[in-house]
Amino acid sequence: MAQQWYVIHTYSGFENRAKQNLEERIKNLGKGEYFSEILVPTETVVELVKGKRKTSQRKIFPGYLLVRMELNEETGTSFGKRQRSRVLRAMEPSRSRSRRARWKRSSPR
């Protein structure tokens, strides 16, 4: 089975911690061949604060991770109850230019 993009739901504000926990769990369980990328979707934003430019990172989808993996019985157990994460749906990149419309559903509802 080929790897696909999946959306992982987690608590808002804990995306980086969930990513670290997932990477550590994958390493400990030896399931690295099933996972290729784990992303926290962010964008660089330039803001004016007190007349000075400030560059910061802003999350595009707060509370979500994007994971490219092969979903099967072995990888489904990588998301434990303790992490408060769950796999929502397979996604594929779209050709749209819009920042929020870059991902579209690959399976019908």
pLDDT of the residue at 87? 59
pLDDT of the residue at 8? 84
**Tally of CA atoms within 13 A in the half-sphere of 68 that contains its CB:** 8
pTM of the model: 0.66
Q: Give the DSSP letter of residue 20.
A: H
Helix (H) or strand (E) holding 74: helix 73-76
pLDDT over 60 at 104, yes or no = no
Tell me the per-residue pLDDT of 45-103, one tens digit each, with 9 for 90 and over. 999 999 999 999 999 889 888 888 887 777 766 665 554 555 555 555 554 444 444 45
Helix (H) or strand (E) holding 19: helix 15-29
* All domains of the chain in start order, with CATH: 4-105 (3.30.70.940)
Within its chain, how far is the Cα of 69 from the centroid? 11
